[in-house]
Homo-oligomer: A and B are copies of this chain.
Amino acid sequence: EEEEEEEEEEEEEEEEGHSSCTVSSLNTALSSELRWKRKYDVFVCHSFAEKDTEEAKRLVSFLETPPRSLRCFLWHRDSCPGSAISTEFCKALENSHLRALLITPSFVQDDWCSYMMHQTLAERPMSNTMIPLLLDLAHSQYPQELRFYYYIDLSRNPDYGFNVVNKTVQSCKYTN
């Protein structure tokens, strides 16, 4: 099983002293001009099962709260009603730097989630722009198409996992 375990302490420090510390970390990572080339920092992609939607909301709320202040795309909130689902999804992909996939038992059974996963993969398979998040899913059920991608397991400690997502976005290299 893979899991990111490093820098937990550092993250906690940032949580406490955000007035000065966060500004400097923003300066190093999020102040890149390229950040503004896309409307969203991270697209949180999830199934529409109630539990998954709630978890996605919690994650987005965490990421959007200052000092993190990330710009997130959340389907039911930010997509345009009346537009085609697949087109909206492709636009959201295009408009976001990173994509967090909330992979759950509902996700792996849902055709649209599978569609979203493949679209995310096909866009830039080796670009490090996809963050797989596992929730209540055995490693053996992890989609084989993602087998070699490092994932974050939210099942054990969701708050820690949320912090790792934040770290990952804060330190990503923004591209055009």
Please list the residues of chain A having a beta carbon within 8 angstroms of any beta carbon in chain B.
84-87, 90, 111-112, 114-115, 118-119, 121-127, 144-145, 147-148
B121 pairs with A86, CB closer than 8 A = yes
A145 pairs with B90, CB closer than 8 A = yes
Chain B residues positioned under 8 Å from A126 (CB to CB) = 111, 114-115, 118
Instruction: Determine how close the nearest CB of chain B comes to the CB of A124; give it in whole angstroms.
Output: 7
CA distance A140 to B145 in the complex (A): 24
Partner of A112 from B118, B119, B125, B145 at Cβ < 8 Å? B125
Instruction: Determine how close the nearest CB of chain B comes to the CB of A119; give it in whole angstroms.
Output: 6
A90 pairs with B144, CB closer than 8 A = yes
20 A-B residue pairs with CB within 8 Å: A84-B118, A84-B122, A85-B118, A86-B118, A86-B122, A86-B125, A87-B118, A87-B145, A90-B145, A90-B147, A111-B126, A112-B125, A114-B125, A115-B125, A115-B126, A118-B126, A119-B147, A119-B148, A122-B147, A123-B147
